[in-house]
Structure 1
């Protein structure tokens, strides 16, 4: 079983949206037994909170559940447990690289790096932009590339 961990700053907007969207895809493809999907934050600011109402609203509009998702901070164990640790923007990846124990750095990726012509770009934080549609669209755009990558 492969373990995937999405990470953003607070774990209430981008990373829980990605977690819910990928869980939904694995369930639709009958691959939920092959993958575990989780999300976490680089900060402690939102620990214990549900996804942002904007995240919940757009997921619900697309028929995707965010049930059971609660913000949490990444732990040292996460770096050993997860096969893939995917930061939603460059700052997240930089923070993850600083937090990562020796030997785990190769697991860290930037979400949009697999999307042609978007390598090196981050997904803007809708906490600041207010644009949850953009966040959803960018995660959705990368989804097929990641699904192919995970299956290799």
Structure 2
């Protein structure tokens, strides 16, 4: 089983949105060899559900956030996850700074797989208020990531 961990700063907007979108995609494809989770680089929102903007938008697309709670990334995550996907460049830098030796190669920037978007970050809707933009960018990378994850 391949384990995928999406990471953003608070784990209430971008990373839980990616977790829910990917979980939904794997269910629709009837793929059960993937485990999807999300976490934060900070402790600020630990224990909180996804942001109401994330919940509302995902609900409109019939994607569940049931049972999701923010948590901070742990040392164990670096050993347990096969892919650790940061939603922006700062997340990736933070992850690289705390990654145990030998686990740095598991860290990716989400949009790096999307043609024409290498090196770009997904803007944080906590600050922009634009949850639709976040959803659209996650969707833009979905098929690229599914192809990458299924062949790896």
Q: TM-score, normalised by structure 1?
A: 0.99
Ranges of 4+ aligned residues in structure 1 off by more than 6 Å: none
Residues 84-107 of structure 1 deviation map (CA, whole Å, 9 limit, x = unaligned): 000000000000000100000000
* 1:90 is the counterpart of 2:86: no
Give the 3-state SS of the residue equivalent to 1:120 in structure 2.
Answer: coil
1:53 matches 2:52: yes
Query: Counterparts of 1:1-152 in structure 2 under 5 Å?
Result: 1-31=1-31, 33-152=32-151
1:66 is displaced (CA, Å) by 0.5
- RMSD, aligned α-carbons: 0.3
- Whole-angstrom CA distance in 1 between matches of 2:25 and 2:68: 16
For structure 1, which runs of at least 5 residues remain unmatched after alignment? Answer: none
Gaps of 5+ in 2: none
Deviation at 1:68, TM superposition (A): 1.0
Describe the SS at the equivalent of 1:135.
helix
Number of paired residues?
151
Distance in 2, matches of 1:73 and 1:105, equals 18
- Structure 2: how far apart are the matches of 1:70 and 1:60? 16
